[in-house]
Amino acid sequence: MKTDWKPGTMIYPLPAVMISCGSEPAEYTIITVSWVGTLCTNPPMCYISVRPERYSYPVLKKNMEFVINLTTEPLAFATDWCGVVSGKEHAKFEEMNLTPGKASVVKAPLIEESPLCIECRVREVMALGSHDMFIADVVNVRADDKYLDEATGAFDMEKARLIAYSHGKYYGLGELIGKFGWSVRKKKE
């Protein structure tokens, strides 16, 4: 048996990422976002959705660039804090002891403590209701070398200890249960 609920966004878990934005140090800020995702592989595109009343919104709109910084278990406190306090009253990089790093392509800073930073340039902003969607081209990805597999060069998600957000709660991702295509692979005899 299932119960009907009013329409809502119950697609969980989601990534919990810190979005860094601003074009100069006086303007740098961080907003935590879970309304984030992949739109296209070729060309690589993603989106973030932000409420227009958020402090970071005009910074994003003015500069039309941002960095998606993946978050980890050690960054969980900063991730939550940057999502509940306003950049209007707080210098988030300084207060959370996060390091604004130089991105390779965009002017927005990346967060050095993040294991993977996705540099984005906004293509379009769509007003959708409570949130506006910033549709962006991925112009560069920076990965911390300590999370790269020496043999394959692949990013080791498990080693990075990424976190997810699910209906008001943060979780570690847990153990690997399979990889793409494992359900149809022939078993070795």
Q: How far is CA 127 from CA 1, 13, 20, 187, in A?
A: 37, 24, 21, 49
Is residue 180 situated within a structural domain? no
Is residue 27 situated within a structural domain? yes
8 confidence band (pLDDT: 50, 70, 90)? confident
Is residue 185 situated within a structural domain? no
* Residue 46, pLDDT score: 97
Q: Do 41 and 73 meet the contact criterion of CB atoms below 8 Å apart?
A: no
Is residue 62 situated within a structural domain? yes
Angle value at C-alpha 61, between 165 and 99, nearest 5 degrees: 55
Is residue 59 situated within a structural domain? yes
The pTM for the full model equals 0.93
Domain that holds residue 23: 14-172
Question: What is the CATH classification number for the domain harbouring 61?
Answer: 2.30.110.10
Is residue 179 situated within a structural domain? no
User: Max alpha carbon distance in the chain (Å)?
Assistant: 63
* Residue 65, pLDDT score: 98
Tally the domains of the chain: 1
Q: Do 21 and 5 meet the contact criterion of CB atoms below 8 Å apart?
A: no
The single residue listed with the structure tokens 């390779």 is: 104
pLDDT value at 189 more than 70? no
Q: What's the pLDDT tens digit per position in 117-161?
A: 999 999 999 999 999 999 999 999 999 999 999 899 999 888 999
Query: What integer best gives the mean pLDDT of the chain?
Result: 94
